[in-house]
Amino acid sequence: MSGTAPRIAMVAGEASGDLLGAHLLAALRSRLPGLTTEGIGGPRMQAEGFDSVFPMEMLSVRGYAEVFRHYRKIMAVRRSLLERFLDRRPELFIGVDASDFNLELERRLKQSGVPTLHYVSPSVWAWRGWRVRRIARAVSHILVLFPFELPIYRQAGIPATYVGHPLADEIPIDADRLAAREQLRLGATATVVALLPGSRQSELRYMADVFVQTAQRLHAELPEIRLVCPMVSRPTRELFEQALVRNGAQELPLKLLFGHSHEALAAADVALVASGTATLEAALMKTPLVITYRQAALTWQLMKRMLYLPYIGLPNILAGERLVDEFLQEQATPESLSGALLALLGDHERQRMQIDRFREIHASLRQGTAQKAADAALALLDGVHGRQVA
Protein backbone atom coordinates (compact mmCIF):
# COMPACT_ATOMS: atom_id res chain seq x y z
CA MET A 1 0.00 0.00 0.00
CA SER A 2 1.53 3.29 -1.04
CA GLY A 3 1.52 6.54 0.90
CA THR A 4 1.52 7.24 4.61
CA ALA A 5 0.12 4.47 6.78
CA PRO A 6 -3.37 5.40 7.98
CA ARG A 7 -4.68 6.21 11.43
CA ILE A 8 -7.53 3.88 12.40
CA ALA A 9 -9.87 4.39 15.37
CA MET A 10 -11.44 1.38 17.04
CA VAL A 11 -13.76 0.65 19.96
CA ALA A 12 -14.16 -2.77 21.59
CA GLY A 13 -16.32 -3.12 24.67
CA GLU A 14 -15.55 -6.49 26.26
CA ALA A 15 -13.18 -9.44 26.31
CA SER A 16 -14.54 -11.11 23.16
CA GLY A 17 -14.26 -7.83 21.23
CA ASP A 18 -10.73 -7.35 22.54
CA LEU A 19 -9.83 -10.76 21.07
CA LEU A 20 -11.38 -9.93 17.69
CA GLY A 21 -9.75 -6.52 17.64
CA ALA A 22 -6.32 -7.90 18.51
CA HIS A 23 -6.42 -10.47 15.70
CA LEU A 24 -7.52 -7.79 13.23
CA LEU A 25 -4.83 -5.37 14.40
CA ALA A 26 -2.12 -8.01 13.96
CA ALA A 27 -3.33 -8.74 10.42
CA LEU A 28 -3.50 -5.04 9.52
CA ARG A 29 -0.11 -4.23 11.02
CA SER A 30 1.53 -7.02 9.01
CA ARG A 31 0.47 -5.13 5.88
CA LEU A 32 0.69 -1.58 7.23
CA PRO A 33 3.76 -1.50 9.50
CA GLY A 34 3.37 2.19 10.33
CA LEU A 35 -0.31 1.92 11.30
CA THR A 36 -1.44 3.97 14.30
CA THR A 37 -4.58 3.01 16.21
CA GLU A 38 -6.50 4.45 19.15
CA GLY A 39 -9.88 4.36 20.87
CA ILE A 40 -11.05 1.82 23.43
CA GLY A 41 -9.64 -1.68 23.71
CA GLY A 42 -8.43 -4.25 26.20
CA PRO A 43 -5.08 -5.84 27.02
CA ARG A 44 -4.91 -7.99 23.88
CA MET A 45 -5.41 -5.00 21.59
CA GLN A 46 -2.95 -2.96 23.62
CA ALA A 47 -0.38 -5.74 23.19
CA GLU A 48 -0.71 -5.08 19.44
CA GLY A 49 0.26 -1.42 19.92
CA PHE A 50 -3.27 -0.04 20.38
CA ASP A 51 -3.67 3.19 22.39
CA SER A 52 -6.74 2.81 24.63
CA VAL A 53 -7.81 6.27 25.77
CA PHE A 54 -10.47 4.89 28.15
CA PRO A 55 -10.52 1.57 30.07
CA MET A 56 -12.51 -1.08 28.20
CA GLU A 57 -14.18 -2.12 31.48
CA MET A 58 -16.20 1.12 31.38
CA LEU A 59 -18.23 -0.38 28.51
CA SER A 60 -18.42 -3.94 29.83
CA VAL A 61 -22.00 -3.80 31.08
CA ARG A 62 -24.88 -5.85 29.69
CA GLY A 63 -28.62 -5.42 29.74
CA TYR A 64 -31.00 -2.47 29.97
CA ALA A 65 -30.95 -2.13 33.75
CA GLU A 66 -27.15 -2.27 33.97
CA VAL A 67 -26.66 0.21 31.11
CA PHE A 68 -29.20 2.56 32.69
CA ARG A 69 -27.20 2.66 35.93
CA HIS A 70 -24.04 3.58 34.01
CA TYR A 71 -25.77 5.67 31.34
CA ARG A 72 -24.28 9.09 32.12
CA LYS A 73 -20.74 7.77 32.32
CA ILE A 74 -21.08 5.79 29.09
CA MET A 75 -22.59 8.76 27.23
CA ALA A 76 -19.77 11.01 28.48
CA VAL A 77 -17.21 8.56 27.11
CA ARG A 78 -18.96 8.44 23.73
CA ARG A 79 -19.17 12.25 23.52
CA SER A 80 -15.49 12.54 24.38
CA LEU A 81 -14.50 9.99 21.73
CA LEU A 82 -16.69 11.64 19.09
CA GLU A 83 -15.13 15.03 19.77
CA ARG A 84 -11.66 13.48 19.61
CA PHE A 85 -12.33 11.71 16.32
CA LEU A 86 -14.06 14.71 14.71
CA ASP A 87 -11.22 16.98 15.78
CA ARG A 88 -8.58 14.65 14.35
CA ARG A 89 -10.37 12.43 11.91
CA PRO A 90 -9.24 8.83 11.51
CA GLU A 91 -9.13 7.45 8.00
CA LEU A 92 -11.32 4.55 9.16
CA PHE A 93 -13.38 3.73 12.24
CA ILE A 94 -13.89 0.10 13.25
CA GLY A 95 -16.52 -0.69 15.86
CA VAL A 96 -15.89 -4.13 17.30
CA ASP A 97 -19.22 -5.46 18.59
CA ALA A 98 -20.60 -3.25 21.46
CA SER A 99 -23.36 -2.17 19.08
CA ASP A 100 -25.36 -0.17 21.63
CA PHE A 101 -22.32 2.06 22.07
CA ASN A 102 -20.76 1.89 18.61
CA LEU A 103 -23.68 2.30 16.21
CA GLU A 104 -24.46 5.86 17.26
CA LEU A 105 -20.78 6.74 17.20
CA GLU A 106 -20.52 5.18 13.74
CA ARG A 107 -23.58 7.07 12.50
CA ARG A 108 -22.11 10.42 13.52
CA LEU A 109 -18.71 9.62 12.05
CA LYS A 110 -20.20 8.32 8.81
CA GLN A 111 -22.22 11.54 8.48
CA SER A 112 -18.97 13.49 8.85
CA GLY A 113 -17.32 11.52 6.05
CA VAL A 114 -15.36 8.91 8.03
CA PRO A 115 -15.87 5.38 6.62
CA THR A 116 -17.18 3.00 9.28
CA LEU A 117 -16.68 -0.75 9.52
CA HIS A 118 -18.74 -2.66 12.07
CA TYR A 119 -17.20 -5.96 13.12
CA VAL A 120 -19.76 -8.46 14.50
CA SER A 121 -23.41 -8.29 13.66
CA PRO A 122 -25.79 -7.30 16.45
CA SER A 123 -28.18 -10.14 17.20
CA VAL A 124 -30.77 -8.99 14.68
CA TRP A 125 -31.51 -12.66 13.94
CA ALA A 126 -32.57 -13.25 17.56
CA TRP A 127 -34.40 -10.06 18.49
CA ARG A 128 -34.67 -6.34 17.71
CA GLY A 129 -34.83 -6.95 13.99
CA TRP A 130 -35.71 -3.29 13.48
CA ARG A 131 -32.06 -2.48 14.20
CA VAL A 132 -31.15 -3.39 10.62
CA ARG A 133 -32.41 0.05 9.55
CA ARG A 134 -30.29 1.71 12.20
CA ILE A 135 -27.26 -0.31 11.09
CA ALA A 136 -27.80 0.82 7.48
CA ARG A 137 -27.55 4.46 8.59
CA ALA A 138 -24.43 3.84 10.67
CA VAL A 139 -22.10 1.55 8.74
CA SER A 140 -20.24 1.65 5.46
CA HIS A 141 -19.66 -2.11 5.69
CA ILE A 142 -20.37 -4.86 8.21
CA LEU A 143 -18.38 -8.02 8.95
CA VAL A 144 -20.43 -11.00 10.10
CA LEU A 145 -19.10 -13.99 12.01
CA PHE A 146 -21.81 -16.52 11.18
CA PRO A 147 -22.99 -17.69 7.74
CA PHE A 148 -26.70 -17.28 8.45
CA GLU A 149 -26.21 -13.53 9.04
CA LEU A 150 -25.05 -12.65 5.52
CA PRO A 151 -28.44 -12.91 3.73
CA ILE A 152 -30.04 -10.58 6.30
CA TYR A 153 -27.74 -7.71 5.33
CA ARG A 154 -27.68 -8.45 1.62
CA GLN A 155 -31.48 -8.36 1.58
CA ALA A 156 -31.36 -4.98 3.34
CA GLY A 157 -28.80 -3.63 0.84
CA ILE A 158 -26.03 -3.27 3.44
CA PRO A 159 -22.51 -4.18 2.22
CA ALA A 160 -21.47 -7.23 4.25
CA THR A 161 -18.74 -9.86 4.33
CA TYR A 162 -18.80 -13.25 6.05
CA VAL A 163 -15.44 -13.70 7.79
CA GLY A 164 -16.03 -16.68 10.09
CA HIS A 165 -14.94 -16.62 13.71
CA PRO A 166 -11.31 -16.20 14.84
CA LEU A 167 -11.75 -18.73 17.61
CA ALA A 168 -12.38 -21.36 14.94
CA ASP A 169 -8.99 -20.51 13.43
CA GLU A 170 -7.24 -20.35 16.79
CA ILE A 171 -8.64 -23.51 18.39
CA PRO A 172 -7.37 -26.84 17.02
CA ILE A 173 -9.91 -29.28 15.61
CA ASP A 174 -8.77 -31.84 18.17
CA ALA A 175 -7.78 -30.48 21.58
CA ASP A 176 -5.20 -32.38 23.63
CA ARG A 177 -7.22 -33.12 26.76
CA LEU A 178 -4.48 -35.07 28.49
CA ALA A 179 -1.97 -32.25 27.96
CA ALA A 180 -4.47 -29.72 29.30
CA ARG A 181 -5.05 -31.83 32.41
CA GLU A 182 -1.33 -32.19 32.95
CA GLN A 183 -0.84 -28.44 32.57
CA LEU A 184 -3.60 -27.71 35.10
CA ARG A 185 -2.56 -30.61 37.37
CA LEU A 186 -6.02 -32.14 37.34
CA GLY A 187 -5.18 -35.80 36.92
CA ALA A 188 -5.77 -38.00 33.90
CA THR A 189 -8.78 -39.89 35.28
CA ALA A 190 -10.56 -37.27 37.39
CA THR A 191 -14.10 -36.14 36.58
CA VAL A 192 -13.58 -32.47 35.67
CA VAL A 193 -16.25 -29.78 35.30
CA ALA A 194 -15.37 -26.33 33.93
CA LEU A 195 -17.29 -23.32 35.24
CA LEU A 196 -17.42 -20.18 33.07
CA PRO A 197 -19.73 -17.67 34.81
CA GLY A 198 -19.13 -14.73 32.48
CA SER A 199 -16.53 -12.16 31.47
CA ARG A 200 -18.23 -9.03 32.82
CA GLN A 201 -18.50 -7.87 36.39
CA SER A 202 -22.23 -7.28 35.84
CA GLU A 203 -22.62 -10.97 34.89
CA LEU A 204 -20.75 -12.20 37.96
CA ARG A 205 -23.04 -10.17 40.22
CA TYR A 206 -26.01 -12.15 38.94
CA MET A 207 -24.43 -15.55 38.42
CA ALA A 208 -21.52 -16.09 40.80
CA ASP A 209 -23.66 -17.41 43.66
CA VAL A 210 -25.61 -19.73 41.37
CA PHE A 211 -22.39 -21.17 39.95
CA VAL A 212 -20.89 -21.65 43.41
CA GLN A 213 -24.04 -23.31 44.78
CA THR A 214 -24.20 -25.55 41.70
CA ALA A 215 -20.58 -26.55 42.33
CA GLN A 216 -21.43 -27.39 45.92
CA ARG A 217 -24.24 -29.70 44.79
CA LEU A 218 -21.98 -31.38 42.24
CA HIS A 219 -19.34 -31.98 44.90
CA ALA A 220 -21.94 -33.41 47.29
CA GLU A 221 -23.02 -35.91 44.61
CA LEU A 222 -19.51 -36.64 43.32
CA PRO A 223 -16.96 -36.06 46.09
CA GLU A 224 -14.08 -36.95 43.74
CA ILE A 225 -15.03 -34.22 41.23
CA ARG A 226 -12.52 -31.54 40.22
CA LEU A 227 -13.72 -28.05 39.30
CA VAL A 228 -11.85 -25.48 37.24
CA CYS A 229 -12.95 -21.87 36.73
CA PRO A 230 -11.08 -19.49 34.37
CA MET A 231 -11.63 -15.78 35.04
CA VAL A 232 -10.87 -13.02 32.56
CA SER A 233 -9.86 -10.26 35.01
CA ARG A 234 -8.94 -9.55 38.60
CA PRO A 235 -12.29 -7.81 39.34
CA THR A 236 -14.32 -10.81 38.08
CA ARG A 237 -12.11 -13.19 40.05
CA GLU A 238 -12.65 -11.12 43.20
CA LEU A 239 -16.42 -11.24 42.71
CA PHE A 240 -16.29 -15.03 42.35
CA GLU A 241 -14.06 -15.37 45.42
CA GLN A 242 -16.55 -13.27 47.39
CA ALA A 243 -19.31 -15.67 46.33
CA LEU A 244 -17.21 -18.62 47.55
CA VAL A 245 -16.88 -16.96 50.96
CA ARG A 246 -20.58 -16.01 51.12
CA ASN A 247 -21.57 -19.61 50.48
CA GLY A 248 -18.96 -21.20 52.74
CA ALA A 249 -17.45 -22.91 49.70
CA GLN A 250 -13.76 -22.17 50.20
CA GLU A 251 -12.99 -25.88 50.57
CA LEU A 252 -14.42 -26.91 47.20
CA PRO A 253 -11.90 -28.78 45.00
CA LEU A 254 -11.90 -25.73 42.73
CA LYS A 255 -9.00 -24.30 40.75
CA LEU A 256 -9.41 -20.60 39.92
CA LEU A 257 -7.41 -19.44 36.90
CA PHE A 258 -6.47 -16.13 35.29
CA GLY A 259 -7.31 -16.75 31.65
CA HIS A 260 -6.54 -20.26 30.33
CA SER A 261 -10.15 -20.83 29.30
CA HIS A 262 -9.03 -23.02 26.39
CA GLU A 263 -7.07 -25.27 28.73
CA ALA A 264 -9.92 -25.40 31.26
CA LEU A 265 -12.43 -26.42 28.60
CA ALA A 266 -10.04 -28.89 26.98
CA ALA A 267 -9.48 -30.56 30.36
CA ALA A 268 -13.17 -30.74 31.28
CA ASP A 269 -15.56 -33.63 30.77
CA VAL A 270 -18.45 -31.13 30.72
CA ALA A 271 -18.87 -27.40 31.31
CA LEU A 272 -21.39 -24.96 32.74
CA VAL A 273 -21.17 -21.77 30.69
CA ALA A 274 -22.85 -18.37 30.84
CA SER A 275 -24.48 -17.52 27.51
CA GLY A 276 -22.15 -15.57 25.23
CA THR A 277 -18.98 -16.15 23.25
CA ALA A 278 -17.75 -18.64 25.87
CA THR A 279 -20.47 -21.08 24.75
CA LEU A 280 -19.01 -21.02 21.24
CA GLU A 281 -15.53 -21.49 22.73
CA ALA A 282 -16.77 -24.59 24.56
CA ALA A 283 -18.30 -25.97 21.37
CA LEU A 284 -15.09 -25.38 19.42
CA MET A 285 -13.13 -27.14 22.17
CA LYS A 286 -15.61 -30.07 21.71
CA THR A 287 -16.63 -29.87 25.37
CA PRO A 288 -20.23 -30.96 26.10
CA LEU A 289 -21.94 -28.19 28.01
CA VAL A 290 -24.97 -26.72 29.73
CA ILE A 291 -25.82 -23.06 29.06
CA THR A 292 -27.24 -20.69 31.64
CA TYR A 293 -27.89 -16.99 32.10
CA ARG A 294 -29.31 -14.63 34.70
CA GLN A 295 -29.64 -10.87 34.57
CA ALA A 296 -31.68 -8.03 36.04
CA ALA A 297 -35.40 -8.82 36.12
CA LEU A 298 -36.30 -5.66 34.19
CA THR A 299 -33.78 -6.47 31.44
CA TRP A 300 -35.09 -10.01 31.16
CA GLN A 301 -38.72 -8.91 30.90
CA LEU A 302 -37.89 -6.45 28.13
CA MET A 303 -35.75 -8.95 26.21
CA LYS A 304 -38.22 -11.79 26.57
CA ARG A 305 -40.88 -9.80 24.73
CA MET A 306 -38.63 -9.32 21.71
CA LEU A 307 -37.02 -12.75 21.45
CA TYR A 308 -38.34 -14.96 18.67
CA LEU A 309 -35.78 -17.77 18.59
CA PRO A 310 -36.55 -20.59 21.04
CA TYR A 311 -32.94 -20.53 22.32
CA ILE A 312 -30.16 -18.01 22.98
CA GLY A 313 -26.95 -20.09 23.11
CA LEU A 314 -24.68 -19.84 20.07
CA PRO A 315 -24.19 -23.62 19.75
CA ASN A 316 -27.96 -24.06 19.52
CA ILE A 317 -28.42 -21.18 17.08
CA LEU A 318 -25.65 -22.51 14.84
CA ALA A 319 -26.99 -26.07 15.06
CA GLY A 320 -30.53 -24.89 14.32
CA GLU A 321 -31.89 -26.96 17.20
CA ARG A 322 -31.75 -27.31 20.96
CA LEU A 323 -28.56 -29.33 20.97
CA VAL A 324 -27.50 -28.03 24.39
CA ASP A 325 -29.69 -27.54 27.47
CA GLU A 326 -30.40 -23.91 28.39
CA PHE A 327 -31.50 -22.66 31.81
CA LEU A 328 -32.40 -18.97 31.86
CA GLN A 329 -33.39 -16.58 34.61
CA GLU A 330 -35.73 -18.29 37.11
CA GLN A 331 -34.92 -21.69 35.59
CA ALA A 332 -31.23 -21.16 36.41
CA THR A 333 -31.22 -22.69 39.88
CA PRO A 334 -28.47 -24.74 41.53
CA GLU A 335 -30.84 -27.72 41.54
CA SER A 336 -31.63 -27.58 37.82
CA LEU A 337 -28.06 -26.81 36.75
CA SER A 338 -26.43 -29.50 38.86
CA GLY A 339 -29.07 -32.00 37.72
CA ALA A 340 -28.43 -31.20 34.06
CA LEU A 341 -24.66 -31.47 34.47
CA LEU A 342 -24.89 -34.79 36.30
CA ALA A 343 -27.25 -36.13 33.62
CA LEU A 344 -24.85 -35.03 30.87
CA LEU A 345 -21.89 -36.61 32.68
CA GLY A 346 -23.77 -39.91 32.74
CA ASP A 347 -25.03 -39.79 29.14
CA HIS A 348 -22.09 -40.63 26.87
CA GLU A 349 -24.29 -40.89 23.78
CA ARG A 350 -25.51 -37.31 24.29
CA GLN A 351 -21.94 -36.17 24.77
CA ARG A 352 -20.92 -37.81 21.47
CA MET A 353 -23.86 -36.24 19.67
CA GLN A 354 -22.89 -32.77 20.88
CA ILE A 355 -19.24 -33.31 19.96
CA ASP A 356 -20.11 -34.48 16.43
CA ARG A 357 -22.20 -31.37 15.79
CA PHE A 358 -19.52 -29.16 17.31
CA ARG A 359 -17.07 -30.52 14.73
CA GLU A 360 -19.42 -29.50 11.91
CA ILE A 361 -19.81 -26.02 13.40
CA HIS A 362 -16.04 -25.68 13.75
CA ALA A 363 -15.45 -26.53 10.09
CA SER A 364 -18.03 -23.99 8.90
CA LEU A 365 -16.56 -21.15 10.98
CA ARG A 366 -12.88 -21.74 10.09
CA GLN A 367 -12.45 -19.05 7.42
CA GLY A 368 -9.14 -17.25 8.11
CA THR A 369 -11.11 -14.53 9.86
CA ALA A 370 -8.41 -11.97 10.65
CA GLN A 371 -7.14 -11.82 7.07
CA LYS A 372 -10.67 -11.58 5.63
CA ALA A 373 -11.49 -8.77 8.08
CA ALA A 374 -8.24 -6.98 7.21
CA ASP A 375 -9.05 -7.31 3.48
CA ALA A 376 -12.40 -5.60 4.06
CA ALA A 377 -10.82 -2.80 6.11
CA LEU A 378 -8.15 -2.19 3.46
CA ALA A 379 -10.79 -2.18 0.71
CA LEU A 380 -12.64 0.60 2.56
CA LEU A 381 -9.44 2.60 2.83
CA ASP A 382 -8.74 2.02 -0.87
CA GLY A 383 -12.21 3.20 -1.84
CA VAL A 384 -11.97 6.43 0.12
CA HIS A 385 -8.34 7.34 -0.37
CA GLY A 386 -7.41 5.64 -3.61
CA ARG A 387 -4.68 3.61 -1.93
CA GLN A 388 -3.15 0.67 -3.71
CA VAL A 389 -3.00 -2.62 -1.81
CA ALA A 390 0.33 -4.40 -2.12
Q: What is the pLDDT of residues 162-177, one digit of tens each?
A: 999 989 999 999 999 9
Architecture of the structural domain at 170-365 = 3-Layer(aba) Sandwich (3.40)
- Residue ranges per structural domain of the chain: 7-164+367-385, 170-365
pLDDT digits (tens, 9 = 90+) for 180-192: 999 999 989 999 9
Architecture of the structural domain at 7-164+367-385 = 3-Layer(aba) Sandwich (3.40)
Give the residue from 3, 98, 90 showing the smallest Cα distance to 38.
Answer: 90
Region 10-30: what's the mean pLDDT?
92
Where does residue 157 fall: left (phi above 0), alpha (psi -120 to 50 degrees), or beta otherwise?
left
92, β-bridge pairs: 8
- Are 239 and 205 in contact by the 8 Å Cβ rule? The answer is yes
Higher pLDDT, 51 or 200: 51
At residue 333, does pLDDT exceed 70?
A: yes
DSSP structure class, residue 5: P
Q: Alpha carbon 271 to chain centroid distance?
A: 17
pLDDT digits (tens, 9 = 90+) for 239-264: 999 999 999 999 999 999 998 999 99
Using CA atoms, how far apart are residues 97 and 138, in angstroms rounded to an integer? 13
Where does residue 43 fall: left (phi above 0), alpha (psi -120 to 50 degrees), or beta otherwise?
alpha
Region 118-143: what's the mean pLDDT?
81
Give the residue from 75, 78, 112 showing the smallest Cα distance to 92.
Answer: 112
Question: Which residues, including other chains, have CB under 8 Å from residue 375's CB and lie 6 or more apart?
Answer: none
DSSP E strand stretches across 149-247: 160-162, 192-196, 226-231
> What angle do helix axes 201-221 and 234-246 make, rounded to 10 degrees?
50
- On the CB side of 266, how many CA atoms lie within 13 Å of its CA? 19
Q: In this predicted structure, what is the pLDDT of residue 89? A: 95
Q: In this predicted structure, what is the pLDDT of residue 277? A: 86
Long-range own/partner contacts, residues 377-384 (CB < 8 A, 24 or more apart): 377/8, 377/24, 377/28, 377/92, 377/94, 377/117, 378/1, 378/28, 378/31, 379/141, 380/92, 380/115, 380/117, 380/140, 380/141, 381/1, 381/6, 381/91, 381/92, 381/115, 383/115, 384/91, 384/92, 384/115
Q: In this predicted structure, what is the pLDDT of residue 307? A: 57
Higher pLDDT, 19 or 287: 287
Q: In this predicted structure, what is the pLDDT of residue 130? A: 60
